[in-house]
């Protein structure tokens, strides 16, 4: 009975994190963007600093009519948001925020493979949405999504493989356990490649060509309204949370900090994740959108050679220190 209770408790906690953190990131994005760009809109609702903006957004989405276009493939159109969102929930299960068994949803032996594999599945949701909407802009958005995933999956995997080589394990708690401070300069190139490729996989600016509003309205999500559209947005924010957690765990030492790694380790993890999430938002307001050919060129001629060089460096250092 205790085991069942334990599993249930872990699932509830992970689900709560899944529901809360993306919304926190969303609210932060509202505020940070408002400050950086001098936007007045998000600062108004509710009074002090526009604290109720997120609530107002939620009410707006819930009120909107749920429309399925007449020419659409009904079932796939309706299924797509769930396929886009659920993988991120599964990934959160495997991410350790502190040392020991108590601070991770489920210890998975091949955790690194698990998170990268399941994150890759999420893009199927965008593809399904783009195809099933019966809209040429949606289809173009779906195509761009697929091309982007194919280009950026490889550097992401290579950068992650470099860390796995350095740690000698593919288990996420094992990687953080093996971390030492000098990994930071050693793996810095891999970290940058991983973070950039992750941003591109989430279609965050400056890699938001698949949803470029000036060309193809909103890409694969053009025909969506109401709660289903909100689910796609939630998937994007959940993706930011997962990417920042992963970068923290793989490259920034997770729960290691200047002091108190074993008592307040989870604070360090959350702090690093929050800083990375801020950087994601910051990049959105500071960089213009890359054109489609620039996107592909960046992946194939810059990120992949950098990731391969990082793997070579990791191998050389690894052999040298043994």
Partner 1 sequence: MSPAATLAAAATTGPGFLSPTGVEIAFVLVGLATLGAALVTVTTKQLVHAALWLVVALGGIAVEYLLLTAEFIAWVQVLIYLGSVVVLLLFGLMLTKAPIGRSPDADSGNRWIALGVAVVAAASLVWVVVDAFRTTWIDLDGPVQGSTKVSGEILFQHWVLPFEALSVLLLAALIGAIVLSRRNDPADASDKGQR
Kindly state the smallest distance separating residue 282's Cβ from partner 1, in Å: 29
**Closer residue to partner 1 (CB): 138 or 269:** 138
Answer whether 216's CB lies under 8 Å from 142's CB. no
Kindly state the smallest distance separating residue 129's Cβ from partner 1, in Å: 12
Q: How far is CA 226 from CA 29, 61, 141, 230, in A?
A: 20, 5, 20, 6
Kindly state the smallest distance separating residue 73's Cβ from partner 1, in Å: 5
Answer whether 261's CB lies under 8 Å from 269's CB. no
Kindly state the smallest distance separating residue 244's Cβ from partner 1, in Å: 21
Q: Which residues of the shown chain bind partner 1 in the complex (CB under 8 A)?
A: 71-73, 76, 108-110, 113-114, 116-118, 120-121, 123-124, 127-128, 130-132, 134, 139, 142-143, 146-147, 149-150, 153, 157, 169-171
**Closer residue to partner 1 (CB): 174 or 265:** 174
Provide DSSP, 22-49: HHHHHHHHHHHHHHHHT--GGGTTTSGG
**DSSP 8-class letter at 89:** H
**Closer residue to partner 1 (CB): 117 or 309:** 117
Kindly state the smallest distance separating residue 217's Cβ from partner 1, in Å: 17
Closest CA to 251 of 299, 314, 303, 312: 314
**Closer residue to partner 1 (CB): 41 or 71:** 71
Kindly state the smallest distance separating residue 221's Cβ from partner 1, in Å: 16
Alpha helix (H) residue ranges in the chain: 2-37, 53-63, 74-93, 111-121, 123-132, 136-167, 172-178, 183-186, 188-201, 213-216, 226-251, 265-286, 292-297, 304-321
Other Cβ atoms within 10 Å of 111 Cβ, number: 24
**Closer residue to partner 1 (CB): 116 or 295:** 116
**Closer residue to partner 1 (CB): 221 or 268:** 221
């Amino acid at each position: 009975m205790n085991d069942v209770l334990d599993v249930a408790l872990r699932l509830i906690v992970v689900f709560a994190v899944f529901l809360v953190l993306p919304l926190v990131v969303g609210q932060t994005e509202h505020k940070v963007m408002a400050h950086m760009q001098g936007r007045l809109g998000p600062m108004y609702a509710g009074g002090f600093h526009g604290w109720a903006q997120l609530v107002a957004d939620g009410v707006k989405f819930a009120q909107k009519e749920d429309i399925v276009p007449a020419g659409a493939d009904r079932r796939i159109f309706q299924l797509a948001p769930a396929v886009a969102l659920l993988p991120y929930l599964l990934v959160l299960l495997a991410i350790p925020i502190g040392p020991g068994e108590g601070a991770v949803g489920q210890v998975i032996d091949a955790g690194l493979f698990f998170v990268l594999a399941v994150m890759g599945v999420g893009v199927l949701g965008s593809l399904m949405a783009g195809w099933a909407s019966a809209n040429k802009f949606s289809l173009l958005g779906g195509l761009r999504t697929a091309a982007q995933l194919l280009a950026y999956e490889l550097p992401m995997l290579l950068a992650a493989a470099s860390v796995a080589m350095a740690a000698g394990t593919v288990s996420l708690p094992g990687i953080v356990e093996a971390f030492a401070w000098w990994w930071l300069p050693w793996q810095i190139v891999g970290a940058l490649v991983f973070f950039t490729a992750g941003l591109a996989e989430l279609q965050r600016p400056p890699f938001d060509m698949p949803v470029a509003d000036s060309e193809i309205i909103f890409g694969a999500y053009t025909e969506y309204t109401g709660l289903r559209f909100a689910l796609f947005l939630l998937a994007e924010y959940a993706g930011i949370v997962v990417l920042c957690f992963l970068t923290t765990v793989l490259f920034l030492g997770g729960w290691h900090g200047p002091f108190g790694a074993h008592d307040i380790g989870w604070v360090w993890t959350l702090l690093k994740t929050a800083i990375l999430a801020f950087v994601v938002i910051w990049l959105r307001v500071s960089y213009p959108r890359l054109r489609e050919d620039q996107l592909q060129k960046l992946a194939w001629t810059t990120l992949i050679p950098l990731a391969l060089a990082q793997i070579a460096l990791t191998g050389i250092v690894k052999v040298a220190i043994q």
